[in-house]
Structure 1
Amino acid sequence: MLRRLCAQRGRAPAARARQFASLSISTSTGDSDIGVYELDTIYALSSAPGKAGVAVIRISGDQADSCLQQLGKSTALPKPRVAALRKLYHPKTKEHLDDALVLRFPHPNSFTGEDIVELHTHGSVAVVSGVLEALSHVPHCRAAEAGEFTERAFDNNKIDLVQVEGLADLLSAETEAQRSQALRQLSGDIGEIYEGWRDSLVKCLAYTEAMIDFGDDEDDVTDAAYEAAVDRVRALADSIRGHLADGRRGEILRSGVQVAIVGPPNAGKSSLLNILARRPAAIVSSIAGTTRDVVQVPLNIAGYPVIVSDTAGLRETEDIIEKEGVLRAQQCASDADICVVMMDIQNARQLHNGEYQSYLRHGAFAVLNKSDQVDESQIASVLETFASKQRDQLLVVSCANGDNVDVFVDKLATAVKEKLEVSAGGSSNGALITRERHRQNLVECLSCLDRFLADPYQSEIAAEDLRRAAMAIGRILGRIDVEDVLDVLFADFCIGK
């Protein structure tokens, strides 16, 4: 009989009907009305496409071992998890395709929870395309869709939805900090926290429902046990509230710290951006108002993802296009995580104006450019016009000769690090919320717990509040109601993952 599909975490099988190869009806006694689905065996190139020393082709499904046998002249299978050298042949033409290292991972101890075979072939385009074409001739075997290997791992309870998202983040990580955060999520650390909260809620719900069913007969249920459950809910609410008070660091780390460079025209904003980017990312000109729109450059600063935005010069203007650029600059500064005010040192008095003072009061630091055009006494005279506290926010540089630009980069790196650091009293066990979806469900969970704690002795209403709170945590983990999330998430994966 065909192997039955693993339970799919409450998701409707019809939503994945395109993956089913056949519908087989057992005719054995007592089982004639039961439909048994069998998934296709899938294959894909799992390593990067293009010319390489080695390519990895992954096969997953009931027919994985059969695929290997049909690509070889021997039906003998290698030992599980032991690499073996095999000659690969086309199943139809019998043409020799390549000599490959072969690895088998029998179910359920594999990434997908199904039988997996990996073919480590030579990495030329001709070899890879030849092997993939040969696999298309194996019955019940087809090319995988984007993210389908990971989707099967999720369906077979090998990973939860938080880990799936962690894997997606790991595949797109560009900095050390992003890699570290994604790896922690993929390893299950964050999922374990949420799973622990959900288990705790389920136990408290059991006590609440026991009070509804037996409260009139059992004093123990209504007193000691239920009071303990209320205390547990209170402690859990405090933990979730602390977890939410993370300054959105996880989401910022995923998308990059937004840094806006603002200031009047011809202050050197575009020059500074080009120095940071190490390329001519923005047009530099002595003509005021050259930059009309926001120019963004993604950077890796001290291992952190940073998106630096050069903006239009802030000034009063009647030019409609430049006016729109100024509005965009102001909005960019308002939305930024870190604001850098850039000013020609000879016009530093403008920093005392209301708009720039507002930026400084909200934590921005000011870069006084063109120090090469003034002497030391003039620099000292400019700095003396600022209070000692604000003086710490000032940095004198020259984009023309590079003076103090390295100090600016260090100062920016420190600001980025401080923005992303988790304080000791921050989120649970240092874990960060990485997606708005998680945050929304946690907020909903906390709202339900607060309602419960407001009047925990309205037993039937209290039980419903706990039930909804547990469901909100369950949605984070992918237990329920996540079909739309999955469709979007898996579509962003590469084909062989």
Structure 2
Amino acid sequence: MRDLHGPDSAIDRTLVAWMPGRASATGEDTAEFHLHGGAAVIAGLVDAVLACAGTRLATPGEFTRRAFDNGRLDMSQVEGLADLLSAETASQRQQALALAGGTLGRLAEAWRERCLQLLAEAEAGLDFAEDEADVATRLDLAAADALTTMADELDQMIADSARAARIRDGLTIVVTGPPNVGKSSIVNALSMRDVAIVTPVPGTTRDSIEVPIDLGGVAAVLIDTAGLRDTADPVEAEGIARARAKAAAADLVMHVTDNPDAPLPASALLVINKLDLHGRSAPAGHVAISALSGAGMPALRQWLVDWAAVLLRPGEPALLAHARHREAFAEAAARLREAASAPLPELRAEALRLATSAFARIAGRVDIDDVLDQIFSRFCIGK
């Protein structure tokens, strides 16, 4: 414990931790002040420190940038840490922790090592004399099989990248239906917030309203839309057009009606509202509720939780959530297939070099200057 003093008065009595560069997160000498959390205490220490010559406030992400520059973190770990800072659900947190912990970086490095081994064999094949052509041929066949297998494995990871991106960005659920069937009431009930205006006047909702929700640890966005009907009002008509566009791009359309005899919508969840008035059950696989009384709302929420779990399998690894990672792995897979079918050892070696470079970009070994500023700008001041 230490007593901290400013130029004119005491600031706090607190724990001060000193970490030499070899033991710190950034790789540089670091001091931490574990202050009591009052705003006046924090402001007093900041003012006292800034009064010292050569000191300044850190810029957004500066400590993480220094950790990257000093080799403490690779680029994929930095991106994972940025994701962790913005994670709002358990699945997002788990995905970000795996990335920040270096899982993807280690995987990419293992792939890069495999490429380097095959590249060394390809280079060796160039050295065989003509009377040893049978040896070179056997090396070529073995390498082609290995390269094709590697490309197939990469393609499987890339095919699963859409699931990883949905875990990171969240699912989209669009609520559609005629006016005055309770869409806004259902959005308010599911989000447990009074976010959408509810009135008996048809056409109250003109523009889309987006509300984040947590579905059993999976992030999702509920989108309340304008009621679907024929209208001469140009503003309402624009809202309806936007509602149809949102529904076309959604992961799930939740179609709300108060008519128990409504036809089943194709590839959508039918929600029959106003159960308190008609008392009718929903068809199998769909849900009947009363947004007013709350009847059926737990079943609706559980349906959404189960749907999200089946779609995203949040407990399974999902690493390729970033477009940069997907592009690097896709390029590597394409180069490996080029190498597998290359008619000449020289062309195989060049394709392998390009695949190796693609894997190296995951860790930030090459071609990363254009993404550094964008990534670090997402961090809070100093982090």
**TM-score (normalizing by structure 1):** 0.72
Amino acid at match of 1:201: C
Q: Tell me the CA shift for residue 160 of structure 1.
A: 0.8
In structure 1, the residue matched to 2:163 is 249
Q: Is the 8 A contact 2:161 2:321 kept in 1?
A: no
In structure 2, the residue matched to 1:117 is 31
Q: Tell me the CA shift for residue 496 of structure 1.
A: 2.6
The CA deviation string for residues 139-192 of structure 1, in whole angstroms up to 9 with x for no partner, is 443321110100111111111111111111111111111111111111112221
Q: Is the 8 A contact 1:175 1:305 kept in 2?
A: yes
Q: Tell me the CA shift for residue 411 of structure 1.
A: 0.4
In structure 2, the residue matched to 1:188 is 102
Moved more, 402-411 or 227-236: 227-236
1:5-44 alignment runs, 5 A limit: none
In structure 2, the residue matched to 1:399 is 291
Q: Tell me the CA shift for residue 107 of structure 1.
A: 1.9
In structure 1, the residue matched to 2:330 is 443
Task: Decide which of 170, 175, 196 is 1:261's aligned counterpart.
Answer: 175
In structure 1, the residue matched to 2:148 is 234
1:303 maps onto 2:189 in alignment? no
In structure 2, the residue matched to 1:63 is none
CA distance in 1, matches of 2:222, 2:129: 61
CA distance in 1, matches of 2:97, 2:323: 19
Q: Which structure exhibits the higher relative contact order, with contacts defined as CA atoms closer than 8 Å and separated by 6 or more residues?
A: 2
Q: Tell me the CA shift for residue 94 of structure 1.
A: 7.8
Q: Is the 8 A contact 2:172 2:252 kept in 1?
A: yes
In structure 1, the residue matched to 2:275 is 371
Amino acid at match of 1:317: T
Q: Is the 8 A contact 1:97 1:130 kept in 2?
A: yes
The 3-state SS of whatever aligns with 2:23 is coil
1:55-66 alignment runs, 5 A limit: none
Decide whether aligned partners of structure 1 residues 174 and 422 sit closer, same or farther in structure 2, where only a CA change above 3 A counts.
Answer: closer
In the comparison of the two structures, how many residue pairs are matched?
A: 383
Q: Which structure has the larger Rg?
A: 1
1:2-401 alignment runs, 5 A limit: 85-90=1-6, 93=7, 96-214=10-128, 216=130, 219=133, 222-246=136-160, 248-346=162-260, 348-349=261-262, 351=263, 356=265, 360=266, 362=267, 364-375=268-279, 379=280, 391-401=283-293
Q: Tell me the CA shift for residue 264 of structure 1.
A: 1.6
Decide whether aligned partners of structure 1 residues 139 and 264 sit closer, same or farther in structure 2, where only a CA change above 3 A counts.
Answer: same
Moved more, 212-221 or 142-151: 212-221
Amino acid at match of 2:306: T
Amino acid at match of 2:115: L
Residue identity over aligned pairs, in percent, reads 39
Q: Is the 8 A contact 1:190 1:431 kept in 2?
A: no
Where structure 1 has 5 or more consecutive residues not aligned to the other structure, the ranges are: 1-84, 384-390, 425-429
Q: Is the 8 A contact 1:105 1:115 kept in 2?
A: yes
In structure 2, the residue matched to 1:82 is none
The CA deviation string for residues 29-60 of structure 1, in whole angstroms up to 9 with x for no partner, is xxxxxxxxxxxxxxxxxxxxxxxxxxxxxxxx
Q: Is the 8 A contact 1:345 1:371 kept in 2?
A: no
CA distance in 1, matches of 2:134, 2:314: 42
CA distance in 2, matches of 1:207, 1:486: 35
The 3-state SS of whatever aligns with 2:203 is coil
CA distance in 2, matches of 1:246, 1:416: 16
Decide whether aligned partners of structure 1 residues 280 and 263 sit closer, same or farther in structure 2, where only a CA change above 3 A counts.
Answer: same
1:416 maps onto 2:302 in alignment? no
Q: Is the 8 A contact 1:204 1:230 kept in 2?
A: no
CA distance in 2, matches of 1:233, 1:140: 54
Decide whether aligned partners of structure 1 residues 327 and 139 sit closer, same or farther in structure 2, where only a CA change above 3 A counts.
Answer: same
In structure 1, the residue matched to 2:356 is 470
The CA deviation string for residues 48-105 of structure 1, in whole angstroms up to 9 with x for no partner, is xxxxxxxxxxxxxxxxxxxxxxxxxxxxxxxxxxxxx223344xx4854432212122
CA distance in 2, matches of 1:226, 1:156: 40
CA distance in 2, matches of 1:423, 1:95: 53
* RMSD of equivalent CA atoms: 2.2
Where structure 2 has 5 or more consecutive residues not aligned to the other structure, the ranges are: none
Q: Tell me the CA shift for residue 367 of structure 1.
A: 0.5
Amino acid at match of 1:433: L
CA distance in 2, matches of 1:243, 1:230: 20
The 3-state SS of whatever aligns with 2:21 is coil
CA distance in 1, matches of 2:36, 2:295: 51
- Larger fraction in strand: 1
The CA deviation string for residues 386-414 of structure 1, in whole angstroms up to 9 with x for no partner, is xxxxx333211111211111100000111
CA distance in 1, matches of 2:71, 2:382: 19
* Off by >6 Å, runs of 4+ in structure 1: none
Moved more, 103-112 or 212-221: 212-221
- Larger fraction in helix: 2
Decide whether aligned partners of structure 1 residues 107 and 294 sit closer, same or farther in structure 2, where only a CA change above 3 A counts.
Answer: same
In structure 1, the residue matched to 2:367 is 481
Moved more, 117-126 or 177-186: 117-126
Q: Tell me the CA shift for residue 218 of structure 1.
A: 5.5
In structure 2, the residue matched to 1:452 is 339
**TM-score (normalizing by structure 2):** 0.93
CA distance in 1, matches of 2:10, 2:128: 73
CA distance in 1, matches of 2:126, 2:318: 36
